[in-house]
Structure 1
Amino acid sequence: MEIKIGVQHTSRELVVETDESVDDVQRRVTEALSGDGVLALTDSKGRVTLVPAARLSYVEIGGGVSGQVGFRS
């Protein structure tokens, strides 16, 4: 699943591919925003992306990877 994260004062969005469920991602975003903490997401290759909750503009959850072209490692 693809997650797009908008960060304040940044012209580009972060895109994270994860194997987590929509419910898990929503829970993490809600917890980070309610506690004014850090949103931590692990991508499908095991890398962790950290974003301060105070800098989040938006989080778009969903989409997929259908129609990808090229090799995946």
Structure 2
Amino acid sequence: MEVKIGIQYAPRELVVETDESADSVEKMLADAVSADGVLALTDTKGRRVIVPASKVAYLEIGSSNVGAVGFRS
């Protein structure tokens, strides 16, 4: 699943491809904001992305089919 994170005062968004579900990512963000903590996601290659929850401007949760190339039958 593709997750785009907009960060305050940053000209570009972070794009993370993760195996987490949309509900799980949404809950992680809600928990991080309520605790004034950090949003920590692990991408499909095992790398961790950590963002202070107070700096998250928006979170766009996409489908896992983004960027599919080729013919479909």
Shorter-chain TM-score tier: 0.7 to 0.9
1:5 matched to which residue of 2? Answer: 5
For residues 22 and 52 of structure 1, the distance between their equivalents in structure 2, rounded to whole angstroms, comes to 19
Alpha-carbon RMSD: 1.4
1:52 maps to 2:32? no
Alignment of 1:8-19 (within 5 A): 8-19=8-19
What SS is found at the alignment partner of 1:51? strand
Greater Rg by CA: 2
Alignment of 1:1-73 (within 5 A): 1-64=1-64, 65-68=66-69
The TM-score, its normalising length taken from structure 1, stands at 0.87
Aligned residues between the structures: 69
Which residues of structure 1 form unaligned runs of 5+? none
For residues 24 and 34 of structure 2, the distance between their equivalents in structure 1, rounded to whole angstroms, comes to 15
Task: Compute the displacement of 1:17 (Å).
Answer: 0.1
